[in-house]
Amino acid sequence: MAKCIFIDTTRCTACRGCQVACKQWHDHEAVPTLQTGTHQNPPDLTPHNFKLVRFSEHKIDGRVHWLFFPEQCRHCLQPACKDTADMYVEGAIVVDEATGIVICTEKTKELTKEQCDEIIDSCPYNIPRRNEKTNELTKCDMCIDRVQAGLIPMCVKTCVAAMSFGEREDMLKVAEQHLERVKKTFPEAELLDAEDLGVVYLVSHPREMYHKYAQREIRPLNRADFLADLTRPFRKALG
């Protein structure tokens, strides 16, 4: 059964427990950062930051809206990254059948920088990051080691009130319930691309207010689209 994380951003307090716990579980090194005038740090996902709370602030009609978005891989049901990677190195990105978790494997080392860039480009949410030292492509693995051991992902475990984890069907039901409640206050609230993803976000405000890649511009490719689009890299190469 496919697993799913549901993130209700209207309940996120941006405590960043998830961001830190993720690093701790994966034994990631700390990355050097500077204060640049925002609480969002590091500024973006890195090979050592699979989870990042994005902050965006707006003042509308005199009222402040501070939006938090705990960003991570969405674990697409039809992951474009995998399709792209498969063209170059079979098995570089795989989907775990039992859980639906999308994994970057050690084989991503065999990908060139250009191929990795292409994979990142193909991700509708701009998630994977290449580790320039090890040449690996990296991203959230939904703590598959924990999930296989019957535990919940570290970010969900740490979260105060915004995240839940479980079977996808159950999570979608929970998400719908939350949506119904949130809509009473925020009529524009929606679930982001819920039908296609293993990580479902509930947002209260128009998605573009969160950050550039909160929404996707195109649907993730299904198999048929993918085959039809096989020539895309060549077209791109031709400019």
Partner 1 sequence: MTQHWIDIKHANAVLIMGSNAAEHHPISFKWVLKAKDAGATVVHVDPKFSRTSARSDFHVPLRSGTDIAFMGGMVKYILEKDLIQKEYVVEYTNASFIIADSYKFEDGLFSGYDPKTRKYDQKLWAFAKDENGIPKRDKTLQDPRCVYQLLKKHYDRYNLDTVSSVTGVSKENLLKVYDVFAATGKPDKAGTIMYALGWTQHSVGVQNIRLGAMIQLLLGNIGVAGGGVNALRGEPNVQGSTDHALLWHIIPGYNAVPTSAWPTLADYQKANTPVSNDPKSVNWWGNRPKYMVSLLKGWFGDKATPENEFCYNLLPKVEPGVDYAMMFLYDRMYQKKDIKGGMIFGHNPAMSFPNTHKVRAALQTLDWLVMGEVHDTETASFWRQPGVDPKKVKTEVFLLPSCQRGEKDGTTSNSGRWHQWHHKGPEPSGQSKSMGWMVVEIMNRVRALYEKEKGAFPEGILSHDWIKEYDAEEVAMRINGRFTKDVTIKDKTYKKGEHVPNFTLLQDDGSTTSLNWIYCGCYPEPGKNLAKRRDHTQTPMQAKLGLYPNYTWAWPMNRRVLYNRASVDVNGKPFNPDLPVILWEDGKWIGDIPDGPAPPMAMEGGKYPFIMQTEGHGALFGPGRVDGPFPEHYEPVETPLTKNPFSKQLSSPCAKMPKSDMDLLAAPGDPKFPIVLTTYSLTEHWCGGGDTRNTPYLLEAEPQLYVEMSHELAEEKGIKNGDVVVVESIRGKVEAVAMVTVRITPFQVEGKTVHLIGMPFCFGWTTPGVGDATNRLTPSVGEPNVTIPEYKASLVNIRKADKVTELAR
Q: Note the residues at the interface with partner 1 (CB under 8 A).
A: 11, 13-17, 19-20, 23-24, 29-39, 41-42, 57-59, 64-68, 160-161, 181
Residue number, 42 or 233, with CB nearest to partner 1: 42
CB of 43 to partner 1, least distance (A): 11
Residue number, 27 or 195, with CB nearest to partner 1: 27
SS3 170: helix
CB of 13 to partner 1, least distance (A): 4
Residue number, 102 or 162, with CB nearest to partner 1: 162
Residue number, 36 or 231, with CB nearest to partner 1: 36
The whole-angstrom separation of Cα 95 and Cα 93 is: 7
CB of 112 to partner 1, least distance (A): 29
Cis peptide preceding 43, ω within 30 of 0? no
Alpha helices in 102-200 (DSSP H): 113-122, 144-148, 154-158, 168-185
Comparing CA positions, the residue from 120, 126, 124 lying closest to residue 108 is 120
Residue number, 24 or 134, with CB nearest to partner 1: 24
CB of 74 to partner 1, least distance (A): 23
CB of 35 to partner 1, least distance (A): 4
Residue number, 20 or 94, with CB nearest to partner 1: 20
Instruction: Please name every residue paired with 66 in a beta bridge, in sequence order, or none if there are none.
Output: 57
* Contact present, 68 and 27 (Cβ < 8 Å): no
Please name the residue that has the structure tokens 């989907």.
95
The whole-angstrom separation of Cα 48 and Cα 139 is: 9
* Contact present, 40 and 55 (Cβ < 8 Å): yes
CB of 123 to partner 1, least distance (A): 24
